């Protein structure tokens, strides 16, 4: 039985999620038993236009990116978006709160016109995506799970409950009790409360639960004397791109 051909691509990103793949260690060799990586620019010189599965990192921010992803989608049978930049726009989305001219100018001054840029969009805002691996960076066990599901042809359901569920299972002391607020209650879990396990708060990198309890959220904010604006500002760190319209 021929191996499934897999190709890795990246767009506007930090390549951290690809790096996580390299962090799999010797497990990577076991995976390579099942799949044939035909393109993975960061670590291989081989290239290919023939692949079954495309694993894509990064957001779409220029017309060139758009062309590339459409070509990839037309070739691949299965498209996996991994990392927040690809799945929800990630930190690249913060750019969208500015006018494109303004932000380009702020970085490049008079040379700004050499760096045309469009509002950041997640992959599924331009082409259909078959599997999502959320997180910034991805939680490696989840990538392995998704890959296994994809190879077995089973859909993967991203958990739709808040990070709080896993956080409590890990018996962390809730950071709210320490006088600090955290985006856990509105962020979808699946990362095993990685950041809270390490003493920090949740920054919402996996995107929001599909049915956040708006009223309840407002009550909690009032209770801890936090304004809605402030929370929205924090959420914008990862979740801004989904507002982007067609560029």
Give the whole-angstrom CA distance, residue 134 versus residue 143: 9
Question: At closest approach, how far in Å is the CB of 208 from other proteins?
Answer: 13
Q: Which of 115, 109, 147 is nearest to 130 (CA)?
A: 147
Question: At closest approach, how far in Å is the CB of 44 from other proteins?
Answer: 3
Q: Which of 133, 148, 140 is nearest to 31 (CA)?
A: 148
Name the residue nearer to other proteins (CB basis): 70 or 180.
180
Name the residue nearer to other proteins (CB basis): 22 or 70.
22
Question: At closest approach, how far in Å is the CB of 169 from other proteins?
Answer: 4
Give the whole-angstrom CA distance, residue 196 versus residue 198: 5
Name the residue nearer to other proteins (CB basis): 15 or 124.
15
Q: Where are the alpha helices (DSSP H) in 47-205?
A: 63-75, 84-87, 100-108, 140-152, 163-169, 194-197
Question: At closest approach, how far in Å is the CB of 217 from other proteins?
Answer: 7
Question: At closest approach, how far in Å is the CB of 210 from other proteins?
Answer: 8
Question: At closest approach, how far in Å is the CB of 131 from other proteins?
Answer: 14
Long-range CB contacts for residues 37-43, cutoff 8 Å, separation at least 24: 37/6, 37/7, 37/8, 38/5, 38/6, 38/7, 39/7, 39/8, 39/9, 40/7, 40/8, 41/8, 41/9, 41/10, 42/8, 42/10, 42/15, 42/18
Name the residue nearer to other proteins (CB basis): 73 or 140.
140
Name the residue nearer to other proteins (CB basis): 79 or 146.
146
Name the residue nearer to other proteins (CB basis): 128 or 199.
199
């Amino acid at each position: 039985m021929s191996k499934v051909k897999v190709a890795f691509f990246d767009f506007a990103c930090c390549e951290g999620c690809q790096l996580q793949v390299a962090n799999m260690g010797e497990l990577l060799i076991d995976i390579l038993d099942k799949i044939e990586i035909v393109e993975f620019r960061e670590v291989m010189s081989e290239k290919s236009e023939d692949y079954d599965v495309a694993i894509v990192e990064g957001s779409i921010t220029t017309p060139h990116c758009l062309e590339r992803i459409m070509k990839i989608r037309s070739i691949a049978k299965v498209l996996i978006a991994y990392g927040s930049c690809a799945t929800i726009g990630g930190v690249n989305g913060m750019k969208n709160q500015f006018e494109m001219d303004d932000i380009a100018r702020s970085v490049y001054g008079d040379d700004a016109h050499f760096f045309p840029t469009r509002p950041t969009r997640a992959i599924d805002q331009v082409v259909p995506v078959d599997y999502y691996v959320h997180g910034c960076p991805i939680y490696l066990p989840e990538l392995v799970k998704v890959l296994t599901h994809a190879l077995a042809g089973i859909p993967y359901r991203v958990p739709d409950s808040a990070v709080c569920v896993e956080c409590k299972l890990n018996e962390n002391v809730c950071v709210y009790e320490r006088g600090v607020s955290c985006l856990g209650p509105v962020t979808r879990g699946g990362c095993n409360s990685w950041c809270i396990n390490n003493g920090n708060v949740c920054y919402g990198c996996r995107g929001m639960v599909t049915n956040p309890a708006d009223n309840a959220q407002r009550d909690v904010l009032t209770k801890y004397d936090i304004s809605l604006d402030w929370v929205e500002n924090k959420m914008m760190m990862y979740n801004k791109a989904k507002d982007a319209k067609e560029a």
